[in-house]
Amino acid sequence: MTHRSFEFTHALCRTPALSVTDGLRATDQGDPDPLVFAAEHAAYVSALRDAGCDVTVLPADDSFPDSVFIEDPALVLNGVAIVLRPGADSRIGEAAALRPALLETMADVVDLQTDGFVDGGDILCTDDRVLLGLSARTTAQGAEDLRPLVEAQGYRLDILQTPPEILHFKTESSLLDHETVLATPKLAASGAFQGLNVIETPHGEEAAANAIRVNNDVFVSAGYPRTADLLDQAGYAVKVLNTSQAALVDGGLSCMSLRYSLALAA
């Protein structure tokens, strides 16, 4: 591979829609406040720029309440966007809606042809592997149909089983460097991270596992001080960001951007 999996030159984001109050959620803890969400999203975009990314922010799309979670409808490898097929009925149309922007910003765009489903939130990329966790939103058929597209970019696809009570594979895991992941004890115990070092989130801070490494910075959600301290002590440059509104609709740091590297594309 020509670059490390956490090195990015660009990112694609979408402003949260006012309809985000209708967003999907496993547990109803109240609706997000669109204005607060917009402010938290703006801070997130600023953090991406501070980390060295050229960020393109697409306008809100009120026809899709969850469209701020732009990572789910696509996967980007070597600057090539693979248009996925999200596994929630209300989100299937997001892929087609996003495709024009992908054509404008990515080196190339290819489409996953499948009768199954694949959500970007179930995909964790290392330097040479794509870890794909089967879930309620990602099916075995979708995973197998994704394999040739991943292999065409020089990656190996490892299909794993996300524990059934976990929404997305990346809900409880994130990449910290080429050989280290942050994960909840539950997901770590599943055996998904063979060959990788695992830093486990402290008890009660499992939600902190949805972090992202962007060049030199590791973004961690606010409210998880022990995890932030743990990563700081391990030598990572930690950036704490508020994600309170995204959390109300099952979102987090990873799903609010498509991060990619055009300058380093193969």
* Share above pLDDT 90 across residues of the chain, in percent, rounded to a whole number: 92
Is residue 255 part of the annotated active site? The answer reads yes
Nearest to 169 by CA among 247, 48, 254: 254
Q: Of the candidates 85, 144, 145, 83, which has an alpha carbon nearest to the alpha carbon of residue 109?
A: 83
Average pLDDT on 160-185 reads 93
Of 13, 53, 125, 255, catalytic = 255
pLDDT higher than threshold 60 for residue 222: yes
Mean pLDDT of 168-180: 95
Task: Establish whether 137 is an annotated binding residue.
Answer: yes
Q: Is 127 annotated as a binding residue?
A: no
pLDDT in tens, 1-51: 445 899 999 999 999 999 999 999 988 999 999 999 999 999 999 999 999
Q: For the residues 105-127, what does the mean pLDDT come to?
A: 96
Q: According to the model, what pLDDT value does residue 191 have?
A: 92
Q: In what order do the strands lie in the sheet with 258-260?
A: 54-58, 10-14, 258-260
- Report how far Cα 87 is from the mean position of its chain's Cα atoms: 15
Please tell me which residue in 13, 168, 178, 203 is annotated as part of the active site.
168
Segment 130-135 shows an average pLDDT of 96
Average pLDDT over residues 42-64: 98
Q: Where are the domains of the chain?
A: 10-167+246-260
pLDDT for residue 165: 84
Percent of the chain residues topping a pLDDT of 70: 97
Which strand (E) or helix (H) includes residue 183? strand 180-183
- pLDDT (average), residues 73-79: 96
Rounded to an integer, the average pLDDT of 173-195 is: 95
Determine whether the annotation assigns residue 149 to a binding site. Answer: no
Helix (H) or strand (E) holding 130: strand 129-134
pLDDT range class, residue 263, cuts 50, 70, 90: low
Which residues lie below 8 Å from residue 230, measured CB to CB, with a gap of 6+? Answer: 199, 202
Other C-beta atoms within 10 Å of 121: how many? 26
User: Annotated binding residue at 72?
Assistant: yes
| DSSP code at position 118 | B
CATH architecture of 10-167+246-260: 5-stranded Propeller (3.75)
pLDDT of residue 266 exceeding 50, the answer is no
Structure tokens given for 229:
């301290």
Q: Please give the model's pTM, rounded to 2 decimal places.
A: 0.95
The reply, when asked if residue 226 is annotated as ligand binding, is no
Strands 10-14 and 54-58: parallel
User: Does the annotation flag 249 for ligand binding?
Assistant: yes
